[in-house]
Chains A and B, each alone.
Chain A
Amino acid sequence: MTTEVSMMHSAESQNLKDGEVSTGTTIIAIPFQGGVVVGADSRTSTGSYVAVRTSDKIACLSDHIYACRSGSAADTQALTDYIRYYLQQLKIETGRPARVKSAAHLLQKLVYQNKDNLSAGMIVAGWDPVEGPAIYSIALGGTCLKVPFAFSGSGSLYITGLLDSEFRENMTKEEARTLVKKALAHAMARDGSSGGIIRTVAITAEGNDRDYTSQLPYGPVSY
């Protein structure tokens, strides 16, 4: 596909290698009373081709901690594999479930120390007995920030205004889920690298519940 090469410096520039698979994506985490709802689209793209249209970008790190993956699919899969292993170890060593903060900071260490070779933007979110619901955003260079709500990935740029205006503290689980789906649908409508279906996971002390939505609350506009 020679056109792909000549477009490398055009309106679409990515720092992925030729043919590398990207989760060019939209991922979100929104807290509610007693937990967090994380959501993601399902499009995995190689350049302009949709490699997988129903991917699962929400990876479970431990019982009540999930990570949303954006950036290089290979890099983020490798990172979640490491973190799962470390959290299992921690659980054995301490006898307690891992904290969301531990998962996030472990991930930060990995991303920061390998920043030259990785392309990964992730959101670590979940519930732990110490802090309750918590959301951490780990950006490309390894910056780890604890945030009230998080959104990341190529599609997130299109919904910054929407989330800034619609986010409220202390929502219910259903309100948070609805907002997650609405924001994702809007991002998927405008970002070519996001699309497909919406997966959400609501994480609470009692358990996690996954949802799959193919009827998007917002679709291609007709104006």
Chain B
Amino acid sequence: MLPAAVPSRQHTVQPMVTGTSVLGIVYDKGVLLAADTLLSYGSMAKAQNIPRLHVVENTVIGASGEYSDFQRILEILKAKALEETTTSVMDSLYTEESGMTAENTWNYLRMLLYSRRSKFNPFWNELLVAGKDLKGKPFLGSVDKIGTTVRDNFIATGFGAYLAMPLLREKWRPDLTEGEARALLEDCMKILFFRDCRASPRIQLAKCAYDEVLVSEPYELDTAAAWQAEAYRQSVGELEDDGGW
């Protein structure tokens, strides 16, 4: 009796080690990204101090979702960047001077993620891509695991889409300074730490402005003040209370 056929194809059907929200905002001189540095394994905080914002050439990529898929995507992008700089693909008359910009990378990622989705084996990520567009203006775009692309002045992935987007919509202006943009992102990251079970207060920022692309060292948000209200301190479990929350 022949054994039953075993499917030889593997599909990513459930994420294992994941990162939560990534936020991005365009300000007057460039783009700012923020993400916390926590990797979760289900409900367990598996690894702290893990950067989820990476620089590839002149672009910053931030990822939420399955971290192994993000690592694979970075491998692919690094190989592509190497290929661009070491091969002359076309006749010099038609080759663009600028090389891969963030907008190019974003389009390439769309193709990558959509083709994997079409094989029912998605890269289980939501990616933010920041840098410059083909015209040299600040660029911020997202690609999700089914290949949907969005380009906008402020984007948030994961829980951020529910909790941070309303704040970003309220406060965004085209002439935001870097300080204001940073304060806004930090405020959103605080809210996410309070309300997302998979978030941590240790965050990292990335900036693309003036032809430079920088990722900061992780630092911790100051959340002490948010626990001090008298309403929070009060206990509600005593006999005369209703035994509620």
A residues adjacent to B (C-beta < 8 A): 6-7, 9-12, 24, 43-45, 47-50, 52-60, 62-63, 66, 73, 77, 80-81, 84, 154, 158, 189-193, 195-197, 199, 210, 212, 214-215, 219-223
Contacts and interface: CB of A to CB of B under 8 A. Distances in A.
Contacts, number: 112
Contacts of B42: 10-12, 192
B163 to A, nearest CB: 9
B43 A12 contact: yes
User: 5 nearest interchain CB pairs?
Assistant: A11-B42, A214-B227, A54-B232, A12-B42, A10-B14
Given A11-B16, A12-B42, A192-B45, A60 B245 contact: no
Contacts of A212: 232-233, 235
Mostly, the B contact residues are loop
Nearest to A58: B237
Contacts of A215: 224
A214 B198 contact: no
A50 B196 contact: yes
B245 A220 contact: no
Contacts of B202: 220, 222
Contacts of B194: 50, 53
A191 B43 contact: yes
A5 B231 CA distance: 34
B196 A220 contact: no
Interface of B: 14-16, 38, 40-45, 48-49, 159, 194-198, 200-202, 218, 220, 224, 227-228, 231-233, 235-239, 243-245
Contacts of A73: 245
Contact of A192 (B197, B232, B235, B245): B197
Nearest to A222: B49
A9 B14 contact: yes
Contacts of B41: 11
A106 to B, nearest CB: 15
B243 A199 contact: no
